[in-house]
Structure 1
Amino acid sequence: MSILQDIKDTFRQPNNTLKQLILINVIVFVVLIVLRLLLTFTAGPGAYNLIMSFIELHSSPMVFITRPWTIITYFFTHQGFLHIIFNMLNLYWFGQLIREYLGDKKLLSLYVLGGIAGGLLYLLTYNFIPYFEDRAANSVMIGASASVLAIVVAAATLLPNYTFNLLLIGPVRIKYIALFLVLLSMSGAVGDNAGGNIAHLGGALIGWLFIKQLQRGNDMGRPLHAIFNFFGGLFSRKPKLKVTHRTSAYSTRTNGSATTTVGKPSQKEIDLILDKISSSGYESLSKEEKQKLFQASQKE
């Protein structure tokens, strides 16, 4: 099977957001490597820099107004191998947790909202804080770090006691991993990559807010879902009219006997389950609670 067919299959498969996000980042990275090589040897480095100016996020408000789409394109763009490897590994590890417990739509919402929040905080600080005044005219930013840190912090907020086995260190709770990454970004907010680290903090804030609001029954990603559904409907084929009836059921146990309850778990039930995960970890859930959480994520 060809690479092109593998790519097509990845985007055709439903509930495959995590692989799709990683693949988009990798494709953009590879395309930019090829373009940089070709343009440098033919038209010169200026041609490549011109293309990048329409992808990277510029700190100047006047430039940003003429290229507003860069608030999105910048967090799908990388140029260094270590940069993209570090981001994609964290996206995969922590994205798996968000995808498993909250579903693909929540994962996509966190990625996009984290990137937008990071970009906006970058623009605001570079234009309204005097310390950055000298840098604002020529600063640009790329990278998915703000989006990824939003997912990292969200996972740590939802499952603080979940552990990863780190090489040479052993088991570490993810709340400490997230805290380390946030402190690292704070320490770098006055360094050479100040803009990038400030964007990381914007993503981290969104990750924390997203889960806290979700636990209160508010989905910050709902407006994004409406936008995605609208544009998705424009490019999808409309199926033939077909009337079907399907009943969803999950089992519960009362007084030692099994009964069947029909319907989707209520938001109140999901909120209670999320609160239990936050306080005691996913392992503390009963089989029925895990099934309800799984059903809610599949039907979002």
Structure 2
Amino acid sequence: MVAKLRPFQTIFQTMSIRREDFRRRDEWGEPIAANGWRGYIPSGLPVTYSGIILLICIVVFLISIIFPSFVYNYLALNPSYLMQRPWTLITHMFVHADFNHLFWNMLFLFFFGTELERRVGESKFLQIYMLSGIVAAFGQMIISSGSMVGASGALFGVLGCLAIIAPEIRILLFFFIPMSIRGAVVLFALIDFLTLGSSDNIAHMAHIVGLLVGLAYGQAIRRSPSYYWR
């Protein structure tokens, strides 16, 4: 069985992402280019790491429909073959078990990932995302030898980091329950903790570990005097 890394169906209550929000401002308030190679496509929409990750996940999902054996054998993370296929520590984050799994993870990435990248910059966002996903996978392997697919370990890291650096954010849980982002973190962590070892085919330990990585990274960012550039 393949453990799916799936966040809860949670979206922001309100969010407006504008083009100028993706530019840094220097100490005088003038916009300066954000670090990294990200640019703008002709339509004026920002090309972001969160958007690139979303696109890759969709492409990989389409490939998995046509070549399922290849994707699950060579891109999903199977602890038994990790030494032979170390790249799966990264590629498993782009593989999803079904459309529902992909849809909710990408919706989560679209809102939370975009917001985190806007706040901390693309370089730090990518570090948080990849580190959370990789460490979360190792955490899941401690309690399970089953294969893993999904981005939720990384996404929970994104959520944890946002909860530290932007506690004022409020969300609509399941689209209609208003809640602070920190309240959502506590709720998600509690649910995953209580369901550890269940047979629901969800990698709850990966959620918890990814969340802890994000919380720790958020604390490190907050202690840095130069991290805020709203």
Asked if the contact 1:90–1:152 (Cα under 8 Å) also holds between the matched residues in 2, the reply is: no
- Unpaired runs of 5+ residues, structure 2, are 1-40
The answer on whether the counterparts of 2:153 and 2:206 sit within 8 Å (CA) in structure 1 is yes
Which of 151, 175, 188 in structure 1 is aligned with 2:195? 188
Cα distance per residue 1:138-163 (max 9 Å; x no partner): x1111101011100111111112211
Q: Which residue of 2 aligns with 1:120?
A: 138
Out of 128, 150, 155, which is 2:157 matched to? 150
Q: Is the contact made by 1:188 and 1:194 (CA closer than 8 Å) also made in structure 2?
A: no
CA–CA distance in structure 1, aligned partners of residues 127 and 46 of structure 2: 16
Separation in 1, partners of 2:217, 2:172: 26
* Deviation at residue 165 of structure 1 after TM alignment: 4.1
Separation (CA, whole Å) in 2 of partners of 1:195 and 1:209: 23
What is the identity, as a one-letter code, of the residue corresponding to 1:148?
L
Instruction: Report the equivalent of 1:34.
Output: 66
Amino acid corresponding to residue 189 of structure 1 in structure 2: L
Residue 169 of structure 2 corresponds to: 162
Q: How big is the shift at 1:178?
A: 2.0
Q: Which has the higher helix share?
A: 1
**Segments ≥4 residues shifted beyond 3 Å:** none
For 1:92, what is the secondary structure of its paired residue? helix
Cα pair 1:25 1:77 within 8 Å, conserved: yes
- Offset of 1:80 from its aligned partner? 1.2
| C-alpha distance in structure 2 between counterparts of 1:64 and 1:16, whole Å | 30
Aligned residues: 188
Partner of 1:54: 74
Deviation at 1:187, TM superposition (A): 2.2
Instruction: Within 5 Å, give how 1:120-269 maps onto structure 2.
Output: 120-126=138-144, 136=145, 139-166=146-173, 167-169=175-177, 171-193=178-200, 196-217=203-224, 268=225
Moved more, 116-125 or 67-76: 116-125
In 1, distance between residues paired with 2:67 and 2:50? 26
Per-residue CA shift, 1:241-268, capped at 9, x if unaligned?
xxxxxxxxxxxxxxxxxxxxxxxxxxx3
> 1 CA distance for matches of 2:54 and 2:99?
14
Given residue 113 of structure 1, which amino acid in structure 2 is its aligned partner? L
Letter of the 1:149 partner, please give it.
F
What is the alpha-carbon root mean square deviation over aligned residues? 2.3
* SS of 2:114 mapped into structure 1: helix
**Sequence identity (%):** 26
Does the aligned pair in 2 maintain the 1:99–1:107 contact within 8 Å?
Answer: yes
Structure 1 runs not aligned, ≥5 long: 1-8, 37-47, 127-135, 218-267, 275-292, 295-300
Tell whether 2:98 aligns with 1:75.
no
Matches within 5 A, 1:251-290: 268=225, 270=226
The 2-side partners of 1:24 and 1:33 are apart by: 14
Secondary structure class of the residue paired with 1:155:
helix
User: Are 1:16 and 2:62 matched, yes or no?
Assistant: no
Q: Which has the larger radius of gyration?
A: 1
Q: Distance in 2 between matches of 1:78 and 1:194?
A: 13
Deviations 1:79-137 (A, max 9, x none): 211111111111111112212211111211111011101111122333xxxxxxxxx3x
Partner of 1:259: none
| Structure 2 residue matching 1:57: 3-state secondary structure | coil
Partners of 2:64 and 2:71 within 8 A in 1: no
